[in-house]
Structure 1
Amino acid sequence: MSWGLISAMGHVSIQTTNLAQSVFDATQILGLRETERTPDAAYLAAANVHHELVYVESDVNGVDGFGLVAASGDALREIRRRVDAENFTILSNGPRGAGVQDGFSFIGPEGFVFEIYIGMQEGIALQQSFGPDRYGHINFHPRDVGGMMRFLSRVLDFRLSDVIGDDFAYFMRCNPDHHGIALVRGEGTLHHHAWQTQSIADLGKLGDRLNKLGRELIWGPVRHGAGHNIAAYYVENSGAVVELYTDLEQIYDDARPPVVWGEDENWYNMWGQYRPMEFRSFGLAPVDRRSLSSLHR
C-alpha cells in the first residue's frame, strides 16, 4: 500500500574495496542470499526479489546509490518530470544494474544518487537457516537536513511521520512503514541500512553470530521512541552500519500529523537513557559523481 509516487524502498548500493568480505558479512552475519554476480558487483536479497543490496567492487568505500520503487509507470514519468524541472543531473536514462525493467538515476542533494524504477525481477526465496524478511529503511545524515526533507517531500512524495527538534531530524515514509528514510543532521553520510526481522530473538542471534567472529553490536537491542522499533546495530566491512529491527510502527492513516519530539527528549531509547557517543561517528559518504558516471553494471 502506498499513497504517493514511491511505493517501496528498493535497494541500497554500496561501493566496497573488499567485495568478498562485504558479501561474507551480508550472507554469514545478516543472512541475505546472493542472487547474481557480475564481473564487478554482487546482488543480494532477503525478500522474493532480484536484489535489495548491491555491492560494487571499487577502490573506495562509499555510497553508490539508493533505489526506490515507483508506484507505476505514470509515477515514474511524473518523478522524472519533477527531477528535470529542478535541474538535477541525470546519471542514467535506464537501469544502472541487473534485474530492473525500466528506470532512471539522478544525482540528488549533497551528491546522493537516487535510482527510480519499476519492474524488478522476482527472485527465488531459498530456505535460509536465518536472515531478515526484507530491506526496510535507510538513515542518513545530510548537512542540510531540512533541505533534504523538503526534497524528499517535494520531488519524491515522501510524508513526514516524526519531527525531532528544531530542524534536527525527520522520519519520512512512502508506505505504511513508519519510515523508509530517516534524516538526522550530520556530515553528509549514510549511517545505516536496516532490515526487518520477525522477532526480538533474531536480534540476540545476530549478537551471537558477531561474537563468534570476534565482532560486536555497537548498540542494542534498544526500543526507539520514533518508530517504536526494537533494533540492534553492527558495522559492516565497508564502514556502513547495519540495523536489524522488528516491531516497527505502521501508519495506515495518510493524514496522520507528524509526531513532534524535542531534540533532548528520549526519542531514541525508550528502555533507558543510554546512547553510545560514538554511534553516529560511523557511516559512508557518497562516492564522487565522476566515479559514479563511469559505472555501467
Structure 2
Amino acid sequence: MGHVGIQTTKLEESVFDATQLLGLRETERTSDAVYLAAANVHHELVYIESDVDGVDSFGFVARDGDALREIRRRVEQENLPIISEKPRGAGIEDGFSFVGPEGFVFEVYVGMQENQAAQLSFGPDRYGHFNFHPRDVTGMMKFLQRVLDFRLSDVIGDDFAYFMRCNPDHHGIALVKGQGTLHHHAWQAQSIVDLGKLGDRLNRLGRELIWGPVRHGAGHNIAAYFVETSGAVVELYTDLEQIYDDSRPPVIWGEDENWWNMWSSYRPTDFRNFGLAPVESPARMAVLR
C-alpha cells in the first residue's frame, strides 16, 4: 500500500486534521500540495489544493521494476487510459498513473524517498488500508485481482463486500457496494489506548468520533472513526489480523451477519453516507461514458 491523494477546498484545515488530530508529520510542501506521512517515507497522504473536494488518486508500491512493467502491460491489456508516464507528485523515482474502473485514478510506482523527519508526540505507525464503495463491487474486486494481484481475505454476502490484501495485513482494500466513493483511509496505531486519545483530541475541539471503538469481525481489528475536513472518513485501528498463507481461503460471511462489530449489534445509520467521489477529469469521464 502506498498512499491516498485527496483534493480539498480547505487545504490548511485538512493539514490540521492530519497533523493535530491524527498525528502525521508534514514532509514536503509545494505550491498546491502538502505531503504527509507516519512511517519513514516521503508520503502516505497527499492533500492537493482544489476548488472541489474529492479523491485524487490511490497509490500502490510495486515490488520492483519488473513488477512495475508487468502492471503497465496489464493496464494496456485492459485498455485503461494512462494519464501520466511518470510520477505525478514529489518524492517518487519511477511510476505511472492510469484511470481505473469507475473513474478512480491509480498510481503505481517504485523508489519512494525515505524521510526521517522528527516524530510528533503521538500518531500512528503507518498507513494501512482504504475502504471504498464501488457501484460494481464484484467487477472492482476482479480488476484488483487481475491487474494488481490482490487476494481475497473475506467475502460478505453475494455481490456486497470484499476484503482484499497485497501483504500480510488482512486487508489493504475493503470494497463495499455503494455509490462510487472513497469512504475512509485507515492508519495503524500501537494500541486501543491511542484510539481513546484520538477521541480526547476531537472532544477538546468540539468534534467527535462518528463510530467506535469497535471490534470488527472481518479483520478482527479494533477501530475508531472521525470525519476529516474534506468529507472523507479517517480510521485509526489496531490489532488487525495478519495472514501469512497466500493460499488461505477467504472467510465467508452472510450480508446480514454481524461482521462489522463483535462487541455490539449497533451501527450508526449514517456511517456509510460519508465519503468522497473521484475528482472529475476528461480521462475519467471518457471511462464512464
TM over 0.5: yes
Distance 1:153 1:84 in 2: 16
Aligned to 1:231, the other structure's residue is in SS state strand
| Deviation string, structure 1 residues 237-282 (Cα, Å, up to 9, x no partner) | 0000000000000000000000000000010000010000100000
Q: Which runs of 5+ in 2 are unaligned?
A: none
Match of 1:185 among 165, 174, 177: 177
Q: How many residues of Structure 1 are paired with residues of Structure 2 in the alignment?
A: 285
Does residue 156 (structure 1) correspond to residue 148 (structure 2)? The answer is yes
- 1:253 is aligned to 245
- 1:102 is aligned to 94
- 2:71 is aligned to 79
- 1:264 is aligned to 256
Distance 1:59 1:252 in 2: 43
Q: Map residues 13-28 of structure 1 onto 2, 5 A cutoff.
A: 13-28=5-20
| Deviation string, structure 1 residues 70-127 (Cα, Å, up to 9, x no partner) | 0110000000000001110101000000000000000000000000000000001413
Q: Percent identity?
A: 81
Distance 1:267 1:144 in 2: 21
Aligned to 1:155, the other structure's residue is in SS state helix
Q: How many angstroms does 1:291 deviate by?
A: 8.6
Match of 1:131 among 116, 123, 132: 123
Conserved 8 A contact 2:87-2:93? yes
| Deviation string, structure 1 residues 219-247 (Cα, Å, up to 9, x no partner) | 00000000000000000000000000000
Conserved 8 A contact 1:163-1:261? yes
Q: How many angstroms does 1:149 deviate by?
A: 0.1
Give the root-mean-square deviation of aligned CA atoms. 1.1
Q: How many angstroms does 1:15 deviate by?
A: 0.1
Conserved 8 A contact 2:217-2:258? yes
Conserved 8 A contact 2:226-2:233? yes
- 1:38 is aligned to 30
Q: Map residues 162-173 of structure 1 onto 2, 5 A cutoff.
A: 162-173=154-165
Distance 1:148 1:97 in 2: 25
Decide which moves more: 118-127 or 201-210.
118-127
Does residue 141 (structure 1) correspond to residue 127 (structure 2)? The answer is no
Aligned to 1:203, the other structure's residue is in SS state helix
Distance 1:44 1:291 in 2: 27
Q: How many angstroms does 1:292 deviate by?
A: 8.0
Distance 1:132 1:120 in 2: 20
- 1:6 is aligned to none
Distance 1:291 1:91 in 2: 7
Does residue 67 (structure 1) correspond to residue 36 (structure 2)? The answer is no
Aligned to 1:287, the other structure's residue is in SS state coil
* Amino acid of the structure 1 residue aligned with 2:57: G
Conserved 8 A contact 1:31-1:132? yes
Conserved 8 A contact 1:133-1:195? yes
Distance 1:245 1:142 in 2: 23
Distance 1:49 1:292 in 2: 29
- 1:88 is aligned to 80
* Amino acid of the structure 2 residue aligned with 1:191: H
* Amino acid of the structure 2 residue aligned with 1:263: E
- 1:5 is aligned to none
- 1:29 is aligned to 21
Conserved 8 A contact 1:69-1:117? yes
* Amino acid of the structure 2 residue aligned with 1:207: G
Conserved 8 A contact 1:47-1:125? no
Distance 2:119 2:162 in 1: 36
Distance 2:145 2:259 in 1: 22
Match of 1:53 among 45, 52, 61: 45
Conserved 8 A contact 1:225-1:270? yes
Does residue 223 (structure 1) correspond to residue 215 (structure 2)? The answer is yes
Distance 2:117 2:270 in 1: 36
Q: Which runs of 4+ in 1 moved over 4 A?
A: none
Distance 1:155 1:127 in 2: 35
Superposition TM-score, scaled by structure 1 size: 0.95
Q: How many angstroms does 1:289 deviate by?
A: 2.1
- 1:175 is aligned to 167
Match of 2:188 among 196, 200, 215: 196
Conserved 8 A contact 2:93-2:110? yes
Q: Which runs of 5+ in 1 are unaligned?
A: 1-8
Distance 1:248 1:128 in 2: 23
